[in-house]
Structures are given as C-alpha cells and as structure tokens.
Amino acid sequence: MGSMTGNVPLNELGEFLKKRRSELSPRTVGLPETGRPRRVAGLRREEVAQLASISTDYYTRLEQGRMQASAPVLDVLARVLHLDDDERGYLFQLAGKPTTRTRRRGRQKVQPQLQRVLDDLTATPAIVQGRRGDILAWNALAAALVTDFSRIPEKHRNYPRIIFTDPAMRTLYADWEGSAHIAVTQLRMEAAQYPEDPRLIELVGELSMRDKQFAQWWGDHRVAARTVGTKTLNHPVVGELVLDWDTLTANTDPDQHLTVWTAPPGSPTHERLRILASWAAEQDLPASAS
C-alpha cells in the first residue's frame, strides 16, 4: 500500500472517531437515557462534543476530515470515547501528533495536617476539597449535614457533581440555585488555572449534558474564589440551619481547601448542630479514613 497523502489521514481519523462513538451508549458515559429512538447508533456528535467541552461544529469538522485537532483535544476525546492505550496511540498517529501522554497530576490525598484538624472537629461540620471540588476528606458531622460521602464512589465524590446530580440537594439547600451557581463560578475559576485538566473537562462536559442550568451558567463565564458565605439548609432531622461557611487553604498544597460550617454560640442553629452531632453518633456515620 502506498503512503497516505492529502487528507487521507484526516479522513481516517474521522472514520475512526465515528466508529468509536457508534459503539458507546449514553449510559456508558454517564448520560441519562431519554427513551426516545435514535437515528444513529451510539452517541450523537453533539453529545461527544459537549462531553469534551468543544463545539459541535469543531467536532463535526474533525469527523469530516476538514481540520486538525490539538493534542489536548485528542487526549480528552480519547477519555470521552473510552479508548484503550492502543486506540489512543492510533488516534494520535492519525492526527500526526506525538503519542506521549499529556502529563497528568496524580490523585490528590488529603494533607496530614488537614486530616488532623478534621479528626479534632467533632462539633463542627467540615470537609476538605481538592481540585475540581473533589471531596478528599470529611468528618462525621459533615456526613450527617450534607450526605454520607462514603456511599458515593470515589470517582464521583465531587461537590459540583453531587449538588447537580443528587436530587436530595435541591431540598437540602433552601437556595439551591444560589448554591449551585456558586459551585459553577468556583469551578470556572479553577478552569482558568488548569484549562487542560482532562478530568475537569470531562466533569464540565458531563454536567453540561445532564443539566441545562449548569450549561447556561458555565456559558456565562462568571467566576468566584472559595472564600466565605452563609447558607440556609432545610435538614430532614433537625430542621432549618443557618450556617456561616469559611474556607481555609493549605499552605502545603494550595489546591486543598478546608471548608467549615459554624453558627454563633447560643443561636438556634448552634443548638441544632449539637443535636445533629448526637444523632450522627447514634447512626455511626463514618468520617473519611485517616
């Protein structure tokens, strides 16, 4: 066979992308099944594009062999399409890109100093969040306040994902829209710092597909840092809680943040937190492992 010339490699890349997406179902990539019939097998182009956080037009031109793709986009597409190492290498080869993997940051582990603080906080709900809002650690009272994080698979233990995908959060937060919007603006701020983080891109793509409000707010490009604020929660056990939240950043790892919820001493919420702590002890809710 003679060497490929012209747009043949790009055409083959497009055919390869089409074949791989035809083999995936919405359920495989975490999208809800609508029950409506599909005109094509597998994922639609717009679904792949949104999961990869690129425009449908951009992805369409890739499949049609009308443009080159950057290495970061190829890396994200490989994750979205669940390619194995050989398929990923083939994808990069067709695109004429080096096959060296994009350097990825290792999985974060809670800093020992923050873990010790969590272990000592028995009357104050607290969690440690890492990159993308991943929940790295929590104490028992935080599990009682928000949700039993130990029941959530580690790869889905992410605050923005929980607030948008767990129906209970829409009842727990009195102002769910306000809380969810803040989560999006904080995530958008982090995206500016790590624009090529594959897991962040994958998270944004998934939530954009699953929730129209997330997609709208993400498109607004509003940003906010993790600082301080007040939230009102309608807790199913102790009733209304008006909590001040504050965020402390670890000097040993600026990507780790300790968030605590407190209430003024003598306030109704302060008393209800004590009741919640007693209830959590009775339920034997687990904190994260030290």
DSSP character string of 194-242: STT-HHHHHHHHHHHHH-HHHHHHHHTT----S-EEEEEEEETTTEEEE
Structural domain for 249, as ranges = 112-283
Are 56 and 125 contained in the same domain? no
Q: Is residue 2 part of a domain?
A: no
Q: What digits encode the pLDDT tens for the residues 112-154?
A: 888 888 989 989 999 999 999 999 999 999 999 999 999 999 9
pLDDT given for residue 106 in this prediction: 65
Are 59 and 151 contained in the same domain? no
Are 255 and 127 contained in the same domain? yes
Give the CA distances from residue 72 to residues 62, 63, 196, 202, 281, in Å, rounded to whole numbers and listed in that order. 14, 17, 7, 12, 47
Q: Is residue 77 part of a domain?
A: yes
pLDDT given for residue 194 in this prediction: 80
Q: What digits encode the pLDDT tens for the residues 21-80?
A: 888 887 777 776 666 666 666 888 888 888 888 999 999 999 888 888 888 889 889 888
pLDDT given for residue 33 in this prediction: 64
Nearest to 261 by CA among 109, 162, 139, 105: 139
Q: Is residue 178 part of a domain?
A: yes
pLDDT given for residue 285 in this prediction: 87
* CATH number assigned to the domain comprising residue 88: 1.10.260.40
Are 53 and 166 contained in the same domain? no
pTM (2 decimals)?
Answer: 0.69
pLDDT given for residue 5 in this prediction: 36
Are 90 and 131 contained in the same domain? no
Are 180 and 90 contained in the same domain? no
Nearest to 200 by CA among 219, 186, 221: 186
Two structure tokens written together for 97: 């890109």
